[in-house]
Structure 1
Amino acid sequence: MIFACPIDKTNINDNLECEKGHRFNLIDDGIYDFLLKDVKTDRLLERIVPIYENIWAPLGILITSGKTYSFLLSEIANFIEGEVIIDVGTGTGKIFDFLRCSTCVGIDVSIRFLKYLKRKRSKVVAVRGDANNLPLKSGIADGVSSTLVLHMLSNPSFAIKEINRVLKPNGRCSVIVLGNVNSTMAKILSRWWNVSLRHYDYYVNLFLENSLKVVERKELGPWEIIKCVKIS
Structure 2
Amino acid sequence: MTTLRSFMRDNGLSLAFGVLFLFSLVGQAWSGLAAFNDQQLAHGAQTVGLLDYLTSSSFAVDVAENWQSEYLQFFLYVSATVWLVQRGSPESKALRKAGPESDRDQLLGRHVRDGSPRWAKAGGRRTAVFSRSLGLVMGTVFLLSWLAQSIAGVSAYNAEQLSDFGDPVSWGEYLLSADFWNRTLQNWQSEFLAIGCMAIFSVYLRQRGSPESKPVGAEHHVTDESG
Same fold (TM over 0.5): no
Greater Rg, structure 1 or structure 2?
2
User: TM-score normalised by the shorter chain: which range applies?
Assistant: under 0.3
TM-score, structure 2 length as denominator? 0.23
The structure with higher relative contact order (CA 8 Å, sep 6+) is: 2
TM-score by length of 1: 0.22
